[in-house]
Amino acid sequence: MRGIGYRVNAGARLTSAALAVGIALGAVSIARGPASATTYAGRSPLATALTVIAGLGLVVAGLTKAGARPSARGRGWRVVAAGILSFAPTYVAWAGGPPLVRSIAAALTGVTFALVLDLVLRHPTGRAPSRARSAAIAAVYAETGIAALLLALVRNPYLDPSCWANCSVNSFLVSSHPALVRTVDFADLWFVAVAAAGLLGWCATRIARGSAPARRNLVPVLAPAAVIAAGVIARAVALQASPVEDPFDQTLFTSFVIESLALTALAAGLLYLSARDRSAHRAVARVVTTLDEAPEPGSLESALADALHDPELRIAYRVSDPDGYVDPRGWPVDPGAPASSMTITRLARGADTLGLITHRGAVPDLDLQFGAALRLGLENERLQAQVLAQLNELRASRQRIVEAGDRERRMLERDLHDGAQQYLLALSYELRLAAGTARAADDGKTEAILSAAIDDAELALAELRDLATGIYPAVLADAGLTPALRSLADEAPVAVEVHTERSRRYGSSVEATAYFAVAEAIDDAVDRGATAVTVTVGDDDHRLMLALADDGTARTAPPDRIADRVGALGGELACTPGECRLSIPCA
């Protein structure tokens, strides 16, 4: 594990393991010997086994965690402590054992629950939890400490009517106060029960509200914790009814069995999560090796997603132009507020943010797992995303320019019809009136002049109409591409055949681009002496396809004007000397 950025204290782990095994063996001999009638563990060989498995299980899980990431180390040691302290009740009942050991064991009996609560409320990140949860954790530690201290100082086991496992020794006794002991016992019992109820509720809510991926992180720890809490509550209720903690009481023994099993399950859950984290770390470390020499945009993202089994993982790169975050393909994204089940890991170089990874949080401190090669890969992809973002901007701007041009054309066409044409029509009408008047007055000369003027006005109207249609054919907007292309064919100076599979509407800029491409192609064909042009229109769900063929002389230059328009919409144009094929993305 060396070289990933943290050090493992192998000596401390080994010592703890030896200590835990020693304590467990001691607990077995006590439970099977002097305490066989006074402890749960001593009630049967199976109960002893349950106690040992739960305690050592927690120690193993804790040591595994303590050997993992730095952020998890503190929690790891706490789990080790919880495991070792779970043997305390057995040592309390060590009849004939050193009084000091029994007294210390008695004082430490409640600490396991406090440690479990601490562990669970910090799950899964391990970081400082919310203020309310921090306060809850602190309160439980404080209460446990105060109660243990008070009882140590004032509990005289000889005078305790409800004593069972230890009715003889208390090395710390200063003065006996049986009444105070009863009060503290009662208060401690119910404080812990209330804390357990809170823990149970919190676990249930977290599991119920969590998304499916979040639950995979929560259930292995929170479900056993909820059962432990339920066992604590059951024990409190039972002790309220009969204050003597007799292991042969069926209710109390059942709650002991359930708690032990749940502690074992908690240890198993922690081990499972550690193992999963570790395999995720190895997978992250391997990500770089899966990348090609020139990776496609987004391949790092998908490689990481694969490695972490997290299909929702997204990388947002910080770019400066346009200012903001973009995905690996250069499209703007807002990584602002992720879903509650997702975590954001910031990738930084010094004070600069390179990007944000939104992921399920299966791997806490994801960025610390990234080796130099992976960081280089991320840097590379970020630069690529920056370039792609600029390219996307440029494309969008080109498209906006073309669309603005089309809008202008349409407005111009309408203005011609609604303005100039109306006045020409009025003029034509007035001229006819005047001609009628001249005819009535038998003024042949004036009538002839006016007739000529009427003809000119009609010519002007026809010219205006052609001009308006050339600017933007109304039928294109009204009825779509196919009728507009047919009209183009009607007016063309060469034979134009239009083949369409079906007549459907595309976006207005797609239709306009296709229309003007065809118009341009017909003009071009005429220039090259063609007598016939064939236009074939087709489409699939995503692209409009046009094939433009003619019998003119070979094309010497590519049709730039068509290429510009088609390119502005993200389309493609491919020309051979006799034919052009273009495809335009359409919705």
Partner 1 sequence: MLTREGIARVLRDAGVEVVGEAGDAPTLLRAVRLTKPDAVIVDIRMPPTHTDEGLVAAQTIRAEHPDVGVLILSQYVEPHYALELLQSHPERVGYLLKERIFDVALLIDALRRLADGETIIDPTIVSRLVQRRRQSDPLAELTPREREVIELVAEGLSNRAIAARLFVTDRTVEAHVKQIFAKLDLQADTDSHRRVLAVLAYLRAT
Nearer to partner 1, 261 or 474 (CB): 474
Instruction: Centre a 10 Å sphere on the Cβ of residue 49 and count the other Cβ atoms it contains.
Output: 14
Contact flag: residue 537 with partner 1 (CB under 8 A): no
Instruction: Select the residue interacting with partner 1 from 486, 528, 543, 581 (CB under 8 A).
Output: 486
Return the bridge partners of 535, or none.
Answer: 498, 548
Contacting partner 1 (CB under 8 A), which of 145, 483, 507, 578? 483
CB of 505 to partner 1, least distance (A): 13
Helix (H) or strand (E) holding 500: strand 495-500
Member of 394, 425, 452, 467 binding partner 1 (CB under 8 A): 425
Q: Where are the beta strands (DSSP E) in 312-351?
A: 314-319, 324-326, 332-333, 343-349
95 binds partner 1 (CB under 8 A): no
Nearer to partner 1 by Cβ, of 5 and 419: the residue is 419
- Give the C-alpha separation, 91 to 102, whole Å: 6
Cβ-based nearer residue to partner 1, 197 or 477: 477
Cβ atoms of 287 and 303 within 8 Å: the answer is: yes
Yes or no: say if 147 and 114 are a contact pair by the CB < 8 Å rule.
Answer: no
The residue among 114 and 488 lying less far from partner 1, judged by its C-beta, is 488
Of residues 478 and 540, the one with the C-beta less far from partner 1 = 478
Q: How is residue 128 written in tokens?
A: 């400082």
Binding mask 200-229 for partner 1 (x = CB under 8 A): ------------------------------
Question: Are the beta carbons of 287 and 300 closer than 8 angstroms?
Answer: yes
Of residues 24 and 496, the one with the C-beta less far from partner 1: 496
Position 421 contacts partner 1 (CB under 8 A): yes
Helix, strand, coil content of the chain in percent (nearest 5): 65, 10, 25
Taking CB atoms within 8 Å and a gap of at least 24, the contacts of 408-415 are: 409/471, 409/472, 409/512, 410/472, 410/477, 412/468, 412/471, 412/472, 413/468, 413/469, 413/471, 413/472, 413/473, 413/474
**Residue 47 CB contacts under 8 Å (≥ 6 apart), including other chains:** 31, 40, 41, 247, 253, 256, 257, 260
182 touches partner 1 (CB under 8 A): no
Rounded Cα distance between 543 and 585, Å, is: 4
Stretch near partner 1 under the rule CB under 8 A, chosen from 264-272, 306-314, 411-419, 443-451: 411-419
By C-beta, is 121 or 431 nearer to partner 1? 431
Residue 484: CB minimum distance to partner 1, A = 8
Contacting partner 1 (CB under 8 A), which of 309, 398, 414, 439? 414
Those residues with Cβ within 8 angstroms of residue 542's Cβ, 6 or more apart along the chain or in another chain = 585, 586
Closest contact distance (angstroms) between CB of 420 and partner 1 is 11
Q: Is residue 125 at the binding interface for partner 1, with CB under 8 A as the rule?
A: no
Q: In the bound complex, what is the minimum distance in angstroms from residue 491's beta carbon to partner 1?
A: 7
Kindly tell me which residue out of 37, 153, 333, 461 binds partner 1, with binding defined by CB under 8 A: 461
Using CB under 8 A as the binding criterion, the count of chain residues that bind partner 1 stands at 35
Q: Which is nearer to partner 1, 401 or 495 (CB)?
A: 495
Q: Are 43 and 253 contacting, i.e. CB atoms less than 8 angstroms apart?
A: yes
Cα distance between residue 221 and residue 65, in whole Å: 14
Q: Does 471 bind partner 1 (CB under 8 A)?
A: no
Question: Residue 216: which region, alpha, beta or left (left: phi > 0; alpha: psi -120 to 50)?
Answer: alpha
Q: Is the Cβ of residue 352 or residue 418 nearer to partner 1 in the bound state?
A: 418
Does 442 bind partner 1 (CB under 8 A)? Our answer is no
Q: Provide the token pair at 412.
A: 């111009």
By beta-carbon proximity to partner 1, the closer residue of 238 and 468 is: 468
Give the Å distances, CA to CA, from 229 to 98, 112, 188, 256, 348.
Answer: 32, 12, 15, 12, 41
To partner 1, the closest distance from the beta carbon of 496 in angstroms equals 7
* Whole-number Å distance between alpha carbons of 22 and 507: 79
Under the binding rule (CB under 8 A), the answer on residue 458 touching partner 1 is: yes
| Pairwise CA distance, residues 459 & 451, whole Å | 12
| Span of 80-88, 288-296, 343-351, 469-477 interacting with partner 1 by CB under 8 A | 469-477
Question: Is 109 one of the binding residues for partner 1 (CB under 8 A)?
Answer: no
Q: Check binding of 456 to partner 1 (CB under 8 A).
A: no
Footprint of partner 1 (CB under 8 A): 414, 417-418, 421-423, 425-426, 428-429, 432, 458, 461, 465, 468-469, 473-475, 477-479, 483, 486-487, 489-497, 532
